[in-house]
Each structure stands twice: as structure tokens, then as C-alpha cells.
């Protein structure tokens, strides 16, 4: 009788452990996001190169950016697993829908940041210290989305990327 009770207890513990270790958002699509920069010494601003619309940034010219492991995903639950790969700079990631890649985001030049509310922010992984990570789960409909960092000056420095959500 004691052996059976131990088996039941062990099985219960294992089941409890497995349910804790599996994320609540398992399923859907997971997109790995890297927030990167070339270091604090390279952060001088060369002007607002991306204020004329959302054309693909030239990675050779960029001092910071957002890299995703896929450029498109299926509609539905999408989990963004975000890592700040910088060695010395805080970054964040915000997701917003894009009506047209020819229309710039609402940018406040005085604050050097995007007006998140006017841009239609759907959610974010807030300021991450270097080497830290976080996750964001959204239910996305088909369309174009922008992922961007809104730490002052970072969006204008090229820290954004586009993601297509398909049916």
C-alpha cells in the first residue's frame, strides 16, 4: 500500500512540474527577436534616416536594430521571445500595425520617440537591461506590423523591422 501511495504522489508531483514548466502560451507561432546595437561608442545620430517611410534599413549603415528569425507568420497567437543582445544599452520592443510602408510612424522630434498610442501599439516588452529577455503574446490578424524600439532616438537610428502576418 505504501509503494502505491508513493507512485501516486510521484506521478502527481511530475504532472504538476510539467504543467508549470510549459508556458501558458504554448502553441501558435514563436518569433525570436534580437535587440542589438554596435555599442555605446557608435551611437552618434546621423539624422532621421527612417522618417520618410518604412523602407528596409541597410544593415551596414545601421548602428542598432531589431532582428527577427522569420519575416512572416500565420495569423493567430504569436509569441515574441525578445532578447536584448546589447552589452551596454537598454532596449525595448513595441508591436504596432502598419497601414502603409510609405507612411512614417507619428514621431515626436523633440522627444525623439514614436507616439505609441497614435501608432496603435498592441503591446510591448518594456525596457530590457543588456543581456535580459522577455516575452509578449498577441493574437494577430493578417496584415503588416512593425516592431520597434522606442527608447529616445532608437527608432530614428534604425531600430525597427517589419513583420507580415498571413492568413
Q: Give the mean model confidence (pLDDT) for residues 127-156.
A: 97
The structural domains of the chain, with segments of one domain joined by +, span 25-166
- pTM for the predicted model, two decimal places: 0.77
Task: Name, in order, each residue with C-beta under 8 angstroms of 94's C-beta and a sequence gap of 6 or more.
Answer: 114, 116, 119, 121, 123, 124, 147, 148, 149, 150
What the block records as the C-alpha cell of 71 is 519575416
What the block records as the C-alpha cell of 16 is 504538476
The DSSP result for 71-136, as a single string, is: SEEESEEEEEEEEE--SS--EEEEEEEES-TTS---EETTTTEE-HHHHT--EEEEEE-TT-EEEE
Residue 136: HSE in the Cβ half-sphere, 13 Å Cα cutoff: 21
More confident residue, 158 or 95: 95
Q: For 25-166, CATH number?
A: 2.60.40.420
* Rounded-to-integer distance, Cα 78 and Cα 67, Å: 16
Measured CA angle at 149 (ends 162, 90), to 5 deg: 145
The count of residues in the chain is 167
Q: Taking a C-beta distance cutoff of 8 angstroms, is the pair 32, 81 a contact?
A: yes
β-bridge partners, 64? 37
Q: Express each pLDDT in 54-96 by its tens digit.
A: 555 555 567 899 999 999 999 999 999 999 999 999 999 999 9
Q: Give the mean model confidence (pLDDT) for residues 13-40.
A: 66
Amino acid at each position: 500500500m505504501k509503494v502505491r501511495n508513493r507512485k501516486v504522489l510521484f506521478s502527481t508531483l511530475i504532472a504538476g512540474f510539467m504543467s508549470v514548466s510549459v508556458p501558458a502560451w504554448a502553441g501558435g507561432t514563436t518569433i525570436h527577436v534580437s535587440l542589438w546595437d554596435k555599442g555605446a561608442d557608435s551611437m552618434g545620430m546621423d539624422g532621421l534616416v527612417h522618417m520618410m517611410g518604412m523602407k528596409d534599413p541597410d544593415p551596414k549603415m545601421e548602428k542598432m536594430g531589431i532582428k527577427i528569425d522569420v519575416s512572416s507568420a500565420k495569423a493567430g497567437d504569436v509569441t515574441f521571445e525578445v532578447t536584448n543582445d546589447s552589452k551596454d544599452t537598454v532596449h525595448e520592443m513595441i508591436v504596432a500595425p502598419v497601414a502603409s510602408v510609405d507612411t512614417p510612424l507619428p514621431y515626436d522630434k523633440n522627444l525623439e520617440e514614436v507616439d505609441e498610442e497614435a501608432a496603435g501599439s498592441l503591446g510591448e516588452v518594456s525596457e530590457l537591461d543588456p543581456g535580459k529577455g522577455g516575452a509578449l503574446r498577441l493574437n494577430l490578424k493578417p496584415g503588416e506590423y512593425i516592431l520597434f524600439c522606442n527608447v529616445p532616438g532608437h527608432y530614428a537610428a534604425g531600430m525597427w523591422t517589419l513583420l507580415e502576418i498571413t492568413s
